[in-house]
Each structure stands twice: as structure tokens, then as C-alpha cells.
């Protein structure tokens, strides 16, 4: 028996798939992502590394892995991140080794990232399956952002403008394999699950 065979778990398969889920703020992508994760037994949600300070609600290794700027610099220099970004002075990234380890075990690895992050990942792992969540219309998205009642109207308009740019960019890049309209949440979740299962079958994986 080889060393690799000894390291394999009984649940390991050869059917790993990297799933990217993106969508504008307010579209419901996190709810859809969690619906996919709960419905497909061998799925794992990627935990980003970040340089931001943890809050009291954060759980290390569950919400994020918290690292220093120096550690982040080393990851970038070593090309150890599939994607990374600066957000309001704090840095976030997806570790390549973690993703590759779970893919090697046959897992469905889920990344919930923005369009720029998806572009970076697809450049390094073009076999990844990318799914974009759309609102039924721009007016519906604006209404959803207002319904959340989290921000001022000025902030909402800024977020809405960014959302429309993100939707346009998603189509310009041509990196997304599927677009799903979240017109009704349960239906959109069901479509997302069916789309992911079909993608795995096409890649030679059994039905989850």
C-alpha cells in the first residue's frame, strides 16, 4: 500500500469539483450557497484567510483564518492563494493548498466570492464551475437593498451602482458557466442544486 493510499479516508472519492458562487449584494447568494452546502453531503465551504481583526462573534477556522500582514505577504509571494483582494484596507484570500486537499478527497468545494475573485480562480483552475446569481430585475434588487434597512439611501445607491457594475462585468468576462435568477428563493435554491449536480455528473461524478 502506498503512502497516498494510507492517507485516504473511507469517504474519499475521485470526484472533486470546485464551485464558485457569485452575485451582487442583496441578491440572496449566501442563502443559496448555504442551501447548496446543506443539500450536497460531501460539500465543504472554503474558509478565507484575512488580516482583519476578529470580532467577538468570529470563530477561528469557521468564519475566517486570521493571519498577520506578514503571513499574507508570504502567501502571495509563494503563489499560495487562488485569489486575494484588499477590502477597506484589510486583505482576504483563498488558500490553494486547502482547496486542492479537499478536491483530492472528492469533495464539492464551495467558494462564495466576487467577480474579480472568480476571474483569478478561473485563471488558475479553469476546470472550476462558476455560477452567478442574478436578481429578477435591477428595480427588484434596489428594492431588496432598501428592505434590509441597514444603510442610508446614499449608501444604498452606492451599493446598487456597484451591483449593476458587477452584473455587467460577470457577463463581459465570460467565465460563468451558469446564471440563476433568484426570483423566488426556494425555486432558485432548487435550480442551483440541480445545476451543481448536473455539473458533477458531466465531470464524471455520481449523483450527490
Supply the pTM of this predicted model.
0.85
pLDDT in tens, 120-132: 999 999 999 999 9
pLDDT in tens, 155-200: 999 989 999 999 999 999 999 999 999 999 999 999 999 999 999 9
Q: Which residues of 8-24 are buried (b: 16+ CB within 10 A; e: fewer)?
A: eeeeeeebbbbbbbbbb
Ordered DSSP codes for 163-179: HHHHHHHHHHHT--SEE
Mean pLDDT of 60-80: 92
| Planar angle of CA 207, 179, 175, nearest 5 degrees | 95
Look at 12 and 167; give whichever has higher pLDDT. Answer: 167
Complete domains list, the chain, with CATH: 3-46+106-202 (3.40.50.300)
Of the listed ranges 17-21, 55-59, 123-127, the least confidently predicted one is: 55-59
Q: What's the pLDDT score for residue 11?
A: 55
Q: What's the pLDDT score for residue 119?
A: 97
Amino acid at each position: 500500500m502506498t503512502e497516498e493510499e494510507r492517507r485516504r479516508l473511507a469517504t474519499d472519492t475521485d470526484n472533486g469539483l470546485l464551485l464558485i458562487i457569485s452575485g451582487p449584494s442583496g441578491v440572496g447568494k449566501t442563502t443559496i450557497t448555504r442551501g447548496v452546502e446543506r443539500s450536497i453531503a460531501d460539500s465543504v465551504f472554503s474558509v478565507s484567510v484575512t488580516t482583519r481583526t476578529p470580532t467577538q462573534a468570529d470563530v477561528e477556522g469557521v468564519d475566517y483564518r486570521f493571519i498577520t500582514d506578514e503571513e499574507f505577504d508570504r502567501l502571495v509571494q509563494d503563489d499560495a492563494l487562488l485569489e486575494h483582494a484588499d477590502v477597506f484596507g484589510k486583505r482576504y484570500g483563498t488558500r490553494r493548498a486547502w482547496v486542492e486537499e479537499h478536491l483530492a478527497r472528492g469533495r464539492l468545494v464551495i467558494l462564495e466570492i466576487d467577480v474579480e475573485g472568480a476571474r483569478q480562480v478561473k485563471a488558475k483552475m479553469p476546470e472550476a464551475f462558476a455560477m452567478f446569481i442574478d436578481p429578477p430585475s435591477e428595480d427588484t434588487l434596489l428594492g431588496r437593498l432598501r428592505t434590509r434597512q441597514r444603510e442610508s439611501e446614499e449608501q444604498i445607491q452606492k451599493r446598487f451602482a456597484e451591483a449593476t457594475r458587477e452584473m455587467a462585468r460577470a457577463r463581459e468576462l465570460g467565465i460563468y458557466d451558469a446564471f440563476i435568477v433568484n426570483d423566488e428563493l426556494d425555486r432558485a435554491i432548487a435550480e442551483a442544486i440541480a445545476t451543481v449536480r448536473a455539473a458533477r455528473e458531466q465531470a464524471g461524478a455520481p449523483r450527490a
